[in-house]
Amino acid sequence: MERLQAPSLVSLCVGVVGKDLEHCIAAFNRFPPDIKMALTAVARRRQLLDDEVIVSLADDSWVILDISGSNVSDVGLRKLAGICRSLRAVDISRCKNISVDGVSAVLQHCHSLETLRCGGFPRNGFTARGCLDILKPKLPVVDLESWEDFDSDAIIGGAKLRFLVWPRIDINILEDFSVECPRVTVNPDLSSRRGGSQVPREAWPNIILDEPFVQDIDPKTWAVSGFRLSSPTSELSLAEKFRRAYEGLGLRLNTTIG
């Protein structure tokens, strides 16, 4: 049987730093963007991700942000919006300290944002309703002799959001989005080949947004904190299931051979 691939030296180093993450905050700004992202994922799993940690790690080159289940608040999210203006996908699911104020800042400053993942906490409902006005397309005041002269690209709005991933969205909120924000697809259907091919990975259900950044790092790095890996639907990603099954098989074989 093929041997399990050894982790890279970088992953091993991130694992070592991750175990003592709370003592390394002052040095975060010295790390390159991809390492900062990996450390953010580790901090989230160790339940250490709050405003101080995420702002210390934030990098203006980031295109995704996963702070789900963390202690990040509106204050931290507003600061992030000023730093990470190129964000394409954000996961705020299960964040009890984030309200419409924080999400509004992201929608207004991160004009490349396409996917927002939320849910898992009652306050998310109020947040979604509060953001409707920002997401609704707005018509500019123009002086035209005929509507035929109107340029559809001139429709303005605070954000260009295309996908809202919220597995257990309230039916009333869903209806509001369908009416008020027709350009936003809520819980995109991947069963259609045509529709599924147009949905970015960040908007797929049952994925963990930051998983690619820690897939090569030893889970023992955060196991001491009792972190339970979960997606917005509280299920392991398919890749994680295969990885764990493969590791378990390897351990059983080694035990048998030994």
pLDDT tens by residue, 52-111: 999 999 999 999 999 999 999 999 999 999 999 999 999 999 998 998 889 889 988 998
What pLDDT is stored for residue 172 in this prediction? 84
User: Sign of dihedral through CA atoms 154, 155, 161, 163?
Assistant: negative
- Rank 23-27, 127-131, 150-154 by mean pLDDT and report only the highest: 127-131
- If one counts the domains in the chain, the total is 1
- In sequence order, what are the residues at sequence separation of 6 or more whose Cβ sits closer than 8 angstroms to the Cβ of residue 16? none
Do the domain assignments include residue 2?
Answer: no
Residue 145 belongs to some domain of the structure: no
pLDDT at 256 over 50: no
CA dihedral 19, 22, 23, 29 (to 10 degrees): 100
Q: Output the CA torsion sign for 116, 118, 123, 126.
A: positive
Query: Do the bridges between strand 115-117 and strand 163-165 make them parallel or antiparallel, or are there none, so unpaired?
Result: parallel
Asked if 159 and 133 count as a contact pair (C-beta separation under 8 A), the reply is no
**What local confidence, expressed as pLDDT, does residue 248 receive?**
52
pLDDT value for 60: 94
pLDDT over 70 at 23, yes or no:
no
Structural domain includes residue 159:
yes
Within-domain flag for 185:
yes
Assess if residue 4 is contained within a domain. no
Residue 3 has pLDDT above 50, yes or no: no
Select the more confidently predicted residue: 244 or 198. 198
Distance, C-alpha 64 to centroid of its chain: 6
| Structural domain contains residue 172 | yes
Cα separation of 41 and 175, whole Å?
34
Q: Which of 71-80, 152-161, 206-215, 220-229 has the highest mean pLDDT?
A: 71-80
Helices (H), the chain: 9-19, 33-45, 51-57, 74-83, 100-109, 123-135, 171-180, 193-196, 220-223, 238-257
The b/e string for 72-100 (b: 16+ C-beta within 10 A; e otherwise) is: bbbebbbbbbeebeebebbbbbbbebbbb
Tokens for 107, please give them: 């929608």
Whole-angstrom Cα distance, residue 67 to residue 77?
A: 9
pLDDT, position 153: 45
**What is the strand order of the sheet 163-165 is part of?**
64-66, 89-91, 115-117, 163-165, 185-186
Closest to 116 in 3D by CA, of 71, 65, 152: 65
Find the range with the poorest average confidence among 18-27, 29-38, 235-244.
235-244
Query: 203 with 115: CB under 8 angstroms?
Result: yes
166 falls within a domain: yes
Decide if 46 contacts 21 (C-beta within 8 A). yes
The residue-averaged pLDDT of 192-212 equals: 81
Residue 156 has φ and ψ, to the nearest 5°, of -110, 165
Domain that holds residue 204: 9-139+152-257
**CATH number, position 163:** 3.80.10
Evaluate whether residue 144 is within a structural domain: no
- More confidently predicted of 4 and 90: 90
Is 150 a residue whose pLDDT tops 50?
no
pTM above 0.75, yes or no: no
According to the model, what pLDDT value does residue 9 have?
Answer: 61
- 218-235 exposure pattern, b = at least 16 Cβ within 10 A, e = fewer: beebbeeeebebbbbeeb
Using the structure block, give the residue that is written with the tokens 């906490």: 121
In a 13 Å sphere around the CA of 55, the CA atoms on its Cβ side amount to 14
